[in-house]
């Protein structure tokens, strides 16, 4: 692909990968084309390999939902079920879509059965490590981010089930974590390294005493010290009991020091 693009000349060229999936075409008793956690891991791995290729503008999973499948469950062609809910492969792509940031590169030094990619925001305040454990079995990891001074580390999201044959793996949200952690068998785990940015002042919607857990996840409006509004921000709680704001546009975090 790189050779073909280079042979065209000096114009800006790119490739669009319009069909990919983890489908077995060999027939017989090979890998069943069931939309399960094993296929979700393969789809996630393929998608991330596309993401880090500089000549790829976009890639498209085949298929969101097959046109004539009225009721068949857990088909590999269906990222969505008949009611619009995510199947296993759809959940894997949701993890990628929710936590991808602009600066991306593969992570080195992990075990043979574990692959990972680091995705950082433009300012360097947030780095998400997206980790795939293909199994078999859980794997203990010690993570290190060279050149980044971070204030907190936590597990942001995880996709896991009972094993590679699970057709209903679960997405779980924020949990305690650190540089040393164990990733389950057949799973995708997102670990966030966060450095707090500029002091943030909440303009509206932030009420109640400090440390009140009922405020976590509440929609509010925030602006930074220069008065620039951080749209679509949410209050989240770090495990030391300090509330901070995540800007959904930039992926940067801002410690909340004052309340209106």
DSSP for 2-71 reads HHHHHHH-SS---EEEEEE-----S-TTS---B-SHHHHHHHHHHHHHHHT-TTEEEEEES-SS-TT-SS
pLDDT (0 to 100) of residue 224: 47
Residues contacting residue 52 through CB under 8 Å, at least 6 positions apart:
104, 105, 106, 117
Are 33 and 79 within one domain? yes
What is the domain-level CATH number for residue 155?
Answer: 2.60.40.1180
Handedness of CA 27, 31, 37, 38 (dihedral sign): negative
Say how many domains are in the chain: 3
Are 190 and 109 within one domain? yes
Domain that holds residue 188: 103-194
SS3 (DSSP) at 94: helix
Q: What angle do CA 118, 170, 96 make, to 5 degrees?
A: 25
d(CA 188, CA 199): 33
Q: What residues in the chain have per-residue pLDDT under 70? A: 1-12, 197-260
Are 94 and 159 within one domain? no
Domain boundary residue, one of 32, 67, 99: 99
pLDDT (0 to 100) of residue 238: 47
Using alpha carbons, list the distances in angstroms from residue 1 to 5, 15, 49, 177: 6, 8, 14, 40
Q: Which residues pair with 229 in a beta bridge?
A: 223
Are 89 and 24 within one domain? yes
Domain boundary residue, one of 72, 99, 126: 99
Are 95 and 107 within one domain? no
Are 87 and 127 within one domain? no
Are 70 and 128 within one domain? no
d(CA 106, CA 125): 19
Are 35 and 75 within one domain? yes
Are 183 and 234 within one domain? no
pLDDT (0 to 100) of residue 194: 85
Ramachandran sector of residue 240 (left: φ over 0; alpha: ψ -120 to 50; beta: rest): alpha
Total-model pTM: 0.77
pLDDT (0 to 100) of residue 199: 42
pLDDT (0 to 100) of residue 244: 58
Are 65 and 89 within one domain? yes
Q: What angle do CA 140, 41, 126 make, to 5 degrees?
A: 65
234-237 β-sheet, strand order? 229-230, 221-224, 200-204, 253-259, 243-246, 234-237
SS3 (DSSP) at 57: strand
Are 204 and 241 within one domain? yes
Q: Which residue shows structure tokens 């509010």?
A: 220
Are 117 and 81 within one domain? no
Read off the pLDDT of residues 181-211 as tens digits, 9 standing for 90 and up. Answer: 999 999 999 999 988 764 444 443 433 333 3
């Amino acid at each position: 692909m790189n050779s073909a693009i280079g042979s065209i000349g000096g114009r800006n060229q790119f490739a669009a990968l319009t069909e990919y999936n983890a489908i077995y075409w060999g027939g017989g008793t090979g890998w069943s084309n069931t939309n399960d956690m094993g296929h979700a891991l393969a789809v996630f791995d393929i998608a991330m390999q596309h993401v880090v290729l500089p000549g790829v503008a976009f890639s498209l999973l085949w298929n969101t939902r097959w046109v004539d499948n009225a009721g068949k469950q857990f088909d590999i062609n269906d990222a969505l079920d008949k009611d619009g809910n995510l199947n296993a492969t759809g959940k894997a792509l949701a993890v990628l879509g929710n936590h991808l940031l602009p600066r991306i590169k593969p992570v080195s030094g992990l075990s043979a059965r574990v692959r990972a990619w680091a995705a950082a925001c433009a300012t360097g305040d947030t780095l998400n490590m997206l980790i795939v454990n293909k199994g078999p079995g859980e794997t203990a990891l010690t993570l290190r981010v060279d050149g980044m001074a971070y204030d907190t580390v936590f597990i942001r999201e995880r996709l896991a089930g009972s094993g590679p044959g699970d057709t209903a793996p679960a997405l779980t949200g924020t949990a305690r974590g650190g540089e040393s952690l164990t990733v389950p068998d057949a799973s995708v785990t997102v670990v966030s390294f966060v450095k707090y940015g500029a002091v943030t002042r909440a303009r509206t919607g932030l009420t109640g005493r400090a440390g009140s857990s009922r405020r976590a996840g509440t929609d509010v409006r925030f602006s930074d010290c220069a008065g620039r509004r951080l749209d679509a921000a949410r209050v989240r709680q770090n495990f030391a009991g300090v509330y901070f704001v995540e800007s959904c546009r930039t992926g940067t975090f801002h410690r909340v020091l004052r309340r209106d």
